[in-house]
Amino acid sequence: MLNTEIIDGVAVLTMNRPEAMNALSKALRESLAKAFPVLDADPKVRVVVLTGAGERAFTAGLDLKELGADPAALSAANPAANPAGAVADPVGALLACRKPVIGAINGVAITGGFELALACDVLVCSTNARFADTHGRVGITPGWGLSQRLSRVIGPYRAKELSLTGNFLDARTACDWGLVNRVVEPEDLMPTALALARDMSQIDASMLADLKAMIDDGYALPLGEGLKLEDERSRRRNAQVRPEQVEARRAGVLARGRSQ
């Protein structure tokens, strides 16, 4: 249901329900919510890549067939779309992960699956990828952050177009709109995502975590407050850097620049 493979500091999480378009069943949601804290605490893991099995779907979102068969699934006491417990909230667990998470979007990312994709730090998608917010058509309101994150990524007008129509957005347009970092052919998706992950994994683990947190925390603030946050954290961290460390790393930066 959820496969985990760790190779050279990169953990690949694969949602493995291709027969159900990798829909987020209760069991899969709990598996994801439990996996991220474990990977976050594992010193061998520097970067996480999240993807879906097959070429049809990253994930089609909440398992509507499962929800429809369980009258209590959307009750106030047990809200599947608004999870309160740590083991029921895959998006919350992903966001709490201090390590970079690359979403390798292999197929459709629909509704809750769209929300899961939006929580990633970097998105690479294949030409098979499509995005859709069908909350309005299904009659379930977003509870994992889509109504707020999507507009901050692509702007409120485009976000309203997607959410108020439920229409699909193709991979190329998603890239043009700034929703994803790049679009590649299906066979190039995982090699591209893994190459980015390896590049990230070469950076000191604590630096990776600090940079990710600085960007995320600052983005949630007005610009002036974000600049103040950067100054405070930068001063604190840079005070611990020794000149010989900078000199030792400078040669590596220069060599990498010449090779790219």
Residue at which a domain ends, from 201, 219, 246: 201
Residue at which a domain ends, from 152, 171, 201: 201
Interval 206-251: pLDDT, tens: 999 999 999 999 999 999 999 999 999 999 998 988 776 676 666 6
In this structure, the answer to whether residues 149 and 212 fall within a common structural domain is no
* One-character DSSP codes across 93-149: HHHH--S-EEEEE-SEEETHHHHHHHTSSEEEEETT-EEE--HHHHT----SSHHHH
> What pLDDT score does 72 carry?
57
> What pLDDT score does 67 carry?
74
This prediction's pTM: 0.91
pLDDT band at 65 (very low <50, low <70, confident <90, very high): confident
In this structure, the answer to whether residues 232 and 107 fall within a common structural domain is no
In this structure, the answer to whether residues 163 and 75 fall within a common structural domain is yes
User: Mapping DSSP to helix (H, G, I), strand (E, B) and coil, where does residue 63 land?
Assistant: coil
Interval 89-98: pLDDT, tens: 899 999 999 9
In this structure, the answer to whether residues 220 and 157 fall within a common structural domain is no
In this structure, the answer to whether residues 45 and 71 fall within a common structural domain is yes
Residue at which a domain ends, from 201, 220, 241: 201
User: Mapping DSSP to helix (H, G, I), strand (E, B) and coil, where does residue 45 land?
Assistant: coil
CATH of the domain at 46: 3.90.226.10
Range of the domain at 49: 2-201
> What pLDDT score does 63 carry?
87
* Residue reference for tokens 């890239």: 175
In this structure, the answer to whether residues 59 and 115 fall within a common structural domain is yes
Query: What is the sign, positive or negative, of the torsion defined by CA atoms of 202, 203, 206, 210?
Result: negative
In this structure, the answer to whether residues 186 and 220 fall within a common structural domain is no
Provide the number of structural domains found in the chain.
2
> What pLDDT score does 243 carry?
74
pLDDT at 252 > cutoff 90 = no
In this structure, the answer to whether residues 154 and 25 fall within a common structural domain is yes
